[in-house]
Structure 1
Amino acid sequence: MLGDFSFWSLFVALTLFGLWPVWATDLLPVVDAGSHLQLIKILHEWKASPLLQKHYIAVHAIVPYLSYYQIVSWVAHACPIEVANKIVLSVCLLALPLSALSLLRAAGHSRWLAFAVVPWMLNADFIMGFFNFLMSIPLFLWLLAHHVRFLRNPTWARAAALAGLLAAMAITHYLLWSVALALLPTLAVIFGVRHGLKRAVWWPIRDAMLGLPSVGLLLPWFLSYFVFAEGAVTSDVYGRPTGTFVERLKQLYSGEHFGPMDNLRQILDCTFDRLTPTGAPNHLLSQPGQLLATLWIAGMALWAFAAACAPNEPPPVDPVRRRWGPIAVAGTSYTGWTLLLVTVAYFLLPRHLLKPIWLWGVNFRLVEVLAVLAVCALPLHPLRPPVGWRGRVALGGLCLLLAAMLAPILTTGQFLLARTEFGSIRPALASIPKNKKVLVLRRKFDSRFVRATLFNNVPEYYAVLVGGYVPYSFADTSSKPFVVDKKTQLPAPQWDWHDSFTWQQHGRYYDFIGVFGEPGAPQGEYDRQLAAQNLPVVYRKDMWTIYKNPEPAPWP
């Protein structure tokens, strides 16, 4: 029988190997990386930069995205921001299987199930660059592990740990924090009702109170933006609600919802499918994302069928029969109910949230959480399978092991190819001095090697790699520690339609203008306008052309 040394050797090897894509390229080719790094750069340099102080306003409140940005900023005192981000991101990715292992232990399930979680270190949330959300997932899993122990034997120490984890989640990402605030009292009702009316009433109240410190952390921010705000502070805040109480509530929420079938299809799109190259032949060997998804789903299906055929778990027996004493909570029941409730949340939540907070991508971020919970809910010991299922459990384990081994290899391969599409981004932007106002126009959005709009955030990279002002930023939403000063914000074309650029309305206010696109691609409207200005070219190579504006017009 394989023991501790075998388990930990394989666990450490696979999880560390899973970090290869993070460090394989100098520039991390994930969708939101540029925007997150630019905001971290503002946080890191704002106090020492008059240019940043002119264009960005510090939010004097604790905000939902604070923790990831602040930790990277602290690490950046010892290394460049890009490296600091990779260090913190690596810790978040490593924490995913570790936190799943903690939940498996709390549920009394086999630790060997944790290997089925390893491929999810590199899933769609990682490709999209949802750094803050990636940090919140391990916190959520540790919260569940502490909660099941708390239900069994509530102590002040465990209550403090739960409140602390909820507070950490509140300042990391509000999606899973909001889910947790509703989930813990609901689970308390489900398990409390099995042990009498008093527990059924008291437990949900008690568990809801654990979230009060985290609510208190964000309350000043929420009130300042959404209740007492007289006008729009950022692009996702629409001013103070008016009318009756019910009318005000209606003004506080709107979102884009999918139907049930679209939500089911979305689950498959949010596994590993973003690694599928554009125009790849329709067979598995040419579609890395589809191959990984097939291996993982096949392995999990075999394990799930085996778990269904395993002998039923004996009902738990209360260790102490006191009115408020410790009780037994079946780990399989707890994780199963959690999986069911988060699945319900997935179908109820919108795809995109518009009010009260703008959040692109809501329910599809939960796909990774659902997959990890599905693993943790399996009442199966892969090394001790049910009678007659040994071969199929072994085959399922092989599929999952292959997925864990291939995920870093295939992801790194696609990342190396995608990095070439950025061209000579470093020398191009290095040709511009520091602390300038720079507008980068891009005609290229989609990658050929990663199924995502990988180049949405290319305009922010000057601020990251060199340092200065760019007009596009994640600082335009209210959940960030800095927001754009609308009074000094330079005019710029619509972020997703740069052909709306005009020299008179936009270009003349910038020190430098960059153009990013495929060599030989048809010229856009802005190419013709820039050519008409006879601007000196300071850099031209592959995808990049950098123009200098000798006499930028003042703004405002």
Structure 2
Amino acid sequence: MTNDNDRLVYVAALVLGALPLWVSAWLPMVDLPQHLYLISVLHRLDDPTTVYPELFAARHALTPYLGYYYLVSALNWLLPLEVANRVFLTAYVVGLPLSLGFLLRSLRRPTWPSLLAIPFAYGDSFGWGFVNYCAALPLTLACCGFFVRALEDVPRRRAWAAALAACLVAVLLFHVQAFGFLAFGLPWLLVTTVVPEDATAKGWAERLRPRGWALAGVVPGVALFLGWVVLRFGEPPDIQPGAPWKAWGPTFSPQNLAWKSFAQNRAELLDVLANTLRDGSDRWALYGVGAVALAAWAAGLARPGKAQGVGRVGAVRLVGLGALALALYFLLPFDIRGYVYYLNTRYAHLAAALLVATAPATVPALRRPLAWAAAACALVLAVTLSRGFRDFSREASEWRGLVAATPPRARVMGLVYDPGSRVVRFPVFIHTAAVLARERGGVPNFTFASTPHSPLRYRGQTPPTFPSEWRPQELDFQTQGAWYDTFVVRGAHPAQVFGARLQSEFAVVAQSGRSWLVRRR
């Protein structure tokens, strides 16, 4: 993609890929209300008009989630929080194909297949609101590109190694799972990359010397990771067998690991790549990407004599990276209770992006039509997701009515018996209490401040609540509900939940959509 028209097509595809983030008031991401709540607290930790100063304190410790929270908090000084977050998400969606294009160029491959990765910015991890992991993916691909250049680009090895060092640290500060992939991906690139000095090198010492800058670029990130491991895993695990969000046994013991079978992972692979909308229309772009990639592979196989030889070694390295990500998807457990959840599933997006980028049609005459076809997939994605996100936003507008009836500094308990949506497949209403608490400077009954990866902690005891926000039926009004003055109920009538208390102790103050707001009299 060398001329102005090609660049224009590439830019247009990037804009289309990010468009769904800007067409609706609410984004269908399960954990997003929790993330925005923590960022709001972090940004207004000393605000006396909120409950934040009395309940929360900064957690002065290294955690892999610092990158997202502090970057969006910094943007919040310039932009409203919702806008700042969308700017961040836009950088992620645009950054995925751009970083893949950088890796492809580093491997001396055509860059047009990077457009095929745009739909993989969405899907399962996006729908669950795993923003930190998603944001680490472009940085992960960039690290691979920096590493290759620190090996091959002799005059600028030092500069590429410095970029690698900074990028690898950034990966860890966003999410440790992406860093885990690089623990396999960078050694693969190391052993499969031939450097110019290899032609005259004699012995291992002479072969290792030109690789020194690339290896040095890895050191800061590895040192930081080892320090985090000592801090994180040096703490005694909170073992509570059967309790949600707690370890059920020693970290890697059989009782603490939850696995999916190979057959289940195989059946779910394509589904997790595009599973946002209930009507399945978000899969159309995925089918388009598959068709374009197959066409490219078919063209490369049909005309092997016309294909350029440059980049074939790069294709092997790229296939290896994709295979490693796919192996992590199939071989890792689904959960390590108390530490990491949805572990193996998240690697599906990375594997898919790397594998479609191996499209071997390097015939110059085919690059432009294939690039246009890839951009057309981004158009299909923009149309379907924009429509779906707007439909969800209309459904989620019930939050506005609830916010208007929520008092300042409210202590909000979420009793969400039905977290589902009529538009999207994910339980996107589970954290409704966090939406109301953020808007009114209050506190919900569940926040990520109770988890060790949060940049915040509770000053004293964690507010009392039932063990899992997914099980409101386990609420004990006497020991857990007494701390709260406001309750949001969804999926059940308040009379079913509060019984006789609704006439004496509580009152319904608002109904909006499928939710009710109940306040203590």
Shared fold per TM-score greater than 0.5: yes
Aligned-partner Cα distance in 2 for 1:529–1:410:
46
Shift of the alpha carbon at 1:485? 5.1
CA contact (8 A) 2:277 2:425 kept: yes
Indicate how the Cα distance of structure 1 residues 440 and 220 shifts in structure 2: closer, same or farther if over 3 A, else same. same
Q: In structure 2, how many angstroms separate the alpha carbons of the residues matched to 1:523 and 1:431?
A: 16
Secondary structure of 1:545's counterpart equals: strand
Deviation at 1:53, TM superposition (A): 4.0
Residue 175 (structure 1) aligned to one of 168, 177, 181: 177
Mapping 1:253-402, distance limit 5 Å: 254-277=256-279, 287-311=280-304, 330-354=313-337, 357=339, 359-381=340-362, 383-385=364-366, 400-402=374-376
* Aligned twin of 2:232: 225
Q: How far does residue 166 in structure 1 lie from its aligned partner after superposition?
A: 0.7
Q: 1:455 is matched with which residue?
A: 429
Q: 1:440 to 1:314 in 2, by over 3 A?
A: closer
Which residue of structure 1 aligns with residue 471 of structure 2? 497
2-structure distance, mates of 1:479, 1:42: 15
Aligned to 1:322: none
Distance 2:484 2:327 in 1: 49
Cα separation, 1, equivalents of 2:181 and 2:119? 24
Which moved further from structure 2: 158-167 or 486-495?
A: 486-495
Deviations 1:44-88 (A, max 9, x none): 122335733443342212210001110100111122211211111
Worse-matched range after superposition: 122-131 or 192-201:
192-201
Deviation at 1:399? 5.6
Partner of 1:20: 19
SS in 1 for 2:346: helix
Is the Cα–Cα contact under 8 Å of residues 29 and 418 in structure 1 kept in the other structure?
yes
Equivalent position to 1:445, from 419, 436, 450: 419
CA contact under 8 A between 1:426 and 1:465: conserved in structure 2?
Answer: no
Say if 2:137 is the partner of 1:144: no
| Whole-Å separation in 1 of the counterparts to 2:223 and 2:239 | 23
| Range with bigger deviation, 114-123 or 5-14 | 114-123
**Contact 1:112–1:382 (8 Å) recurs in 2:** no
**Does structure 1 conserve the Cα–Cα contact (< 8 Å) formed by 2:140 and 2:182?**
yes
User: Residue type of the partner of 2:333?
Assistant: P
Cα deviation for residue 91 of structure 1 reads 1.5
Partner residue of 2:204? Answer: 198
Q: Name the structure 2 match of 1:130.
A: 130
Query: Structure 1 residues 58 and 223 mapped into 2: Cα distance closer, same or farther (>3 Å)?
Result: farther
- The alignment covers a number of residue pairs equal to 510
Q: Deviations over 1:257-299 (max 9, x none)?
A: 223222222211112132233xxxxxxxxx3033233222222
- Structure 2 segments unaligned to the other structure (5+ residues): none
Helix, strand or coil for the counterpart of 2:518? strand
CA distance 1:257–1:305, shift in 2 (3 Å): farther
Corresponding residue SS for 1:77: coil
Q: Partner letter of residue 8 of structure 1?
A: R
Give, in whole Å, the separation in 2 of the partners of 1:192 and 1:454.
48
Q: Distance in 1 between matches of 2:95 and 2:371?
A: 22
Once superposed, what is the RMSD of the aligned Cα atoms? 3.3
Measured after TM superposition, the shift of residue 169 of structure 1 is 0.2
Q: Deviations over 1:343-369 (max 9, x none)?
A: 2222222222325x2x22222212221
2:499 maps to what in 1?
Answer: 528
Aligned AA for 1:373? L
Distance (whole Å) between structure 1 residues aligned to residue 47 and residue 497 of structure 2: 34
**What secondary structure is seen at the aligned counterpart in 2 of 1:441?**
strand
Deviations 1:524-546 (A, max 9, x none): 74242652544233323333322
What displacement does 1:421 show?
A: 2.5
Q: Distance in 2 between matches of 1:150 and 1:343?
A: 26
Aligned equivalents of 2:467 and 2:251: distance in 1? 33
SS of the aligned residue for 1:48 comes to coil
- In the alignment, structure 1 segments of 5+ residues that lack a partner are 242-247, 278-286, 317-327, 551-556
TM-superposed deviation, 1:253: 9.7
Letter of the aligned partner of 1:33 in structure 2? L
Alpha-carbon distance in 1 for matches of 2:56, 2:229: 20
Structure 2 counterpart of 1:186, one-letter code: W
Superposed displacement of residue 99, structure 1? 1.1
Separation of aligned partners in 2, 1:133 and 1:8: 29
CA contact 1:299–1:399 (8 Å) conserved in 2: yes
Aligned letter for 1:98?
Answer: L
1:541 aligns with 2:512: yes
SS at match of 2:457: strand
Question: Aligned partners of 1:225 and 1:310: how far apart in 2?
Answer: 54
| Alpha-carbon distance in 2 for matches of 1:310, 1:463 | 61
Distance (Å, rounded) in 2 between the aligned partners of 1:197 and 1:8: 45
1:113-128 correspondence runs (5 A) = 113-128=113-128
Q: Partners of 1:252 and 1:179 in 2: how far apart?
A: 23
Amino acid at match of 1:198: W
| TM-score, with structure 2 as normaliser | 0.87
Deviations 1:364-389 (A, max 9, x none): 2122211221233223236524xxxx
Report if the CA contact (8 A) 2:325-2:348 is conserved.
no
* 2:499 aligned partner, one-letter code: R
Which residue of 172, 184, 187 corresponds with 1:185? 187
- Percent identity (aligned): 24
Contact kept in structure 1, 2:296 and 2:360, CA below 8 Å: no
Equivalent residues in 2 for 1:45-124, closer than 5 Å: 45-49=44-48, 51-124=51-124
Q: Please give the secondary structure, in 1, of the residue aligned with 2:429.
A: coil
Distance 1:3-1:208 versus aligned 2 partners, 3 A rule:
closer
Partner Cα distance (1:235, 1:53) in 2: 28
SS state of the match for residue 33, structure 2?
A: helix
> 1: CA distance between counterparts of 2:158 and 2:58?
37
* Cα distance between partner residues in 2 of 1:487 and 1:122: 37
- TM-score under structure 1 length normalisation: 0.82
Q: Conserved in 2, the CA contact under 8 Å of 1:436 and 1:468?
A: yes
> SS of the counterpart of 1:171?
helix
Residues 90 and 300 (structure 1), Cα distance of their counterparts in 2 relative to 1, 3 Å cut? same
Q: Counterparts of 1:209 and 1:335 in 2: how far apart (Å)?
A: 23
**C-alpha displacement of 1:157:** 1.8
Contact 1:433 1:466 in 2 (8 A): yes
